[in-house]
Structure 1
């Protein structure tokens, strides 16, 4: 960028080395805070249910890559005589961000989420029946390289395949660059020769960007309780449960809404109505009508955490006294009604309520629209027959038993965790009416996102100049300085998020954590690369980054193989994975070293 007396930024060429280091730190910290503003502002929109699908699947991934994308963009917009060094900053940012995300946070997730690896090679996520001393990691702090680790879900394979497809865009520019890398061509001649291939790569990676967003959006609305987007939503609710901000009444109300939407999309046949004695005016969730199984699965995923909350003595059963507390929280305060509901819910008549009986009871209470408002002298309560019918549905679900065991065995874990930041609307907005709260959330969210984006746009050109100058002072390519520094400024939040999320020590949490990192790599392969190639096409620049490109491809292929071949990843795997980060730098240096081939 051009510096003058009216420019608010300092010309880095006028600074000594300590001053340059300080300025790099200031700019990096500023970009870090700006990326947090963008992230926090977009996450506010998740509190508007109607926007949740599009925000989680499209807006958050796009805004998350904005800082890297802007550095990449501005790296090619400088003066022609300086553009070669500045473009090295852009490709260093692209390579460093992609490789860092797939190595350091991934290894951190394995470390923080590690549990004991059993003899059969599975992870110790389930409590053995009757074992009251069981812990997921035994002894606490166990650092065995081969006998501790994590087990990831099958979702990583699909995401790894998608990552493999999106990185194919690099080949479209890299293969012609190999042929044009001859001494007889000048830099400008090589740029003109590769110009059309830069355009093809720009379009190709842009198409993959649209395909990736469409895939993510489809996943966010998929009616599957195991989807990554649904898992994130449930985990947010679970955090609110442990903070006392989400109640049983909220859960029942949410179930009724989702169930009514789901059943409303499928007409009940006339034969079914005649057989069950239903009329057209009867509510869709009336007893006797078919219940939507998917809504029950989603509700159960939340209810298991309420079960842990009310199970005060941690015996994995709800006693009569504990059940009274549940009844009070759903608006049933009369003891005779509480006793009747307990007896009807105790299907096996063993004097306590199991997790399946608890889920069945709460689902039927929600279906009867049980609330404070309808507790009259003779409230319409669930009965043993209706609860038993739901119990048969819950008991017969394909994915139930493993999820219940994992959730109930993890009941004590949250009590020992440090309190995390609240994941709820700001205090000053909580008490507002729904319409006003929505309006203020939208206003505050867009204000934060616009302010963060404005900071990124303002500081990215200056950051490019600083990183380029830092490389000159250290007598190394600006690629290396940007490879290390830029991702720290733009992706430091991913390191913290990977640690905090994986430490829940469940298969789902580690799967979501690693899937998010794969998604970030896909965004770099599509949006960032498309912007970069569009800039190269516009400026007719030569692609002289074969070594850097190969390092990106090699790391992504290795992580794809890991995702496919090793669902169980040990602490030793974490060490190998994190070593890919410095090894990739060494790989680039070796390929560019004149004594070893001198690749561009």
Structure 2
């Protein structure tokens, strides 16, 4: 969302430099950047579900790693790592023999099942067989559907290295405490909670994805054409309405019209939030971020195209400053937090009257426009 203000800054650059020669070129460059960001955002939205599922699968995989290592730590007759942090081969060999119930020198899926029992896989909505499959995939390098001792030691060594190098590792965690296993296990549980899973709500499946994508693209193009055709008449209508009703055009342009055009997003956000589900809340924020991004990019692209084709002058310094402040504040704040206390909503609400006051002061008191 914060990146969507880049075209605004590009178009505003000649005015910041007090230059008149490069204004037309800056509009063209801003238009190209805006269209590029718009296409990139649409492509991202297409692949976002796949990215989300990959992230979720990776979190589940890390949860299995930390859970299995915790089980090994509890069953080991000694420490899994030496004082230098290297894997304790002797302890791992004893563990292998203890797990190998039939003493045939190989661990089967049935024997590996003992390692995933007690991991609380229900916390991440993962079936026991899926966890065993993940374990076998990492350990069974020979692909013979069984794990020999060398593969077991290599697999545990790899997992210990990954767990120790994870972001969850605390500074005090060492080979004695191996606290990083507990840290990693708790971190993966939280990550899964924040990413959410589709099991808590029924999700409608798309019967014909290709036709849906084509329809969405056509509607997007249609909306762009409508915005381009009615942009100029809308400005005239606002001015005429302001003159006929003696209502200041500032009130209509910055209060009445935004409330009317964005009311659908507000109603949709309230409906989603009223479900009080993690996934619903996530969808609400995604919808709001998406609406802001599309407003910035799509509307700006249409507007810049009109300015460039008709050779108009770009003179919206105060509006650009307000857009920059709001998008950067909200964008940066949302980037460093995954949960939002109640007071953050008050901050977001206050940005609206702050924007109105700032535009009014800059335009009517300092004469920016």
Structure 2 Cα separation of the partners of residues 556 and 576 of structure 1? 13
| Displacement of 1:481 | 1.4
Deviation at 1:505, TM superposition (A): 4.0
Mapped pair 1:548 → 2:319: yes
For residues 218-237 of structure 1, the aligned pairs below 5 Å read 229=48, 233-234=52-53
Aligned to 2:188: 403
1:471/1:478 contact within 8 Å kept: yes
How far, CA to CA, are the matches of 2:309 and 2:288 in structure 1?
30
Per-residue CA distance 1:381-420 (angstroms, 9 max, x = gap):
96687998999577856476323345469999976xxx67
Q: How much does 1:581 deviate?
A: 0.8
Corresponding residue for residue 103 of structure 2: none
Q: Give the equivalent residue in structure 1 for 2:85.
A: none
- Higher helix proportion: 2
1:163-562 alignment runs, 5 A limit:
163=4, 165-175=6-16, 194=20, 196-209=21-34, 212=37, 216=41, 229=48, 233-234=52-53, 297=58, 300=61, 344-347=112-115, 361-362=129-130, 365=133, 396=162, 398=166, 401=185, 402-405=187-190, 407=192, 422-425=203-206, 430=207, 437=208, 440-441=211-212, 445=216, 463-496=234-267, 498=269, 500=272, 503-505=276-278, 517=288, 521=292, 524-559=295-330, 562=333
Q: Distance in 2 between matches of 1:540 and 1:412?
A: 50
User: What runs of 5+ residues in structure 2 fail to find an aligned partner?
Assistant: 65-107, 138-143, 168-183
TM-score scaled by length of structure 2? 0.55
Q: Is the 8 A contact 2:318 2:359 kept in 1?
A: yes
**Quick check: 1:201–1:530 contact (8 Å CA) kept in 2?**
no
Q: Work out the number of aligned pairs and report it.
A: 297
- Rounded Cα–Cα distance in structure 2 between residues aligned with 1:463 and 1:533: 16
The verdict on how the C-alpha distance between 1:490 and 1:231 changes in structure 2, with shifts beyond 3 A counting, is farther
CA contact (8 A) 2:112 2:132 kept: no
Q: Which runs of 5+ in 1 are unaligned?
A: 1-158, 180-192, 222-227, 235-257, 259-293, 304-339, 370-380, 431-436
User: What SS does the aligned partner of 2:204 have?
Assistant: coil
The higher relative CO (CA closer than 8 Å, separation ≥ 6) is in: 1
Distance 1:163 1:364, change over 3 A: same
8 Å Cα contact 2:238-2:252 kept in structure 1:
yes
Following the alignment from structure 2 to structure 1, what is the Cα–Cα distance between the partners of residues 293 and 335?
17
Secondary structure, counterpart of 2:205 in structure 1: coil
Cα deviation digits, residues 511-531 of structure 1 (max 9, x gap) = x86576556555555553344
TM-score under structure 1 length normalisation: 0.37
Q: 1:360 to 1:574 in 2, by over 3 A?
A: same
| Distance change in 2, residues 1:470/1:583 (3 Å) | farther
Residue equivalent to 1:581: 352
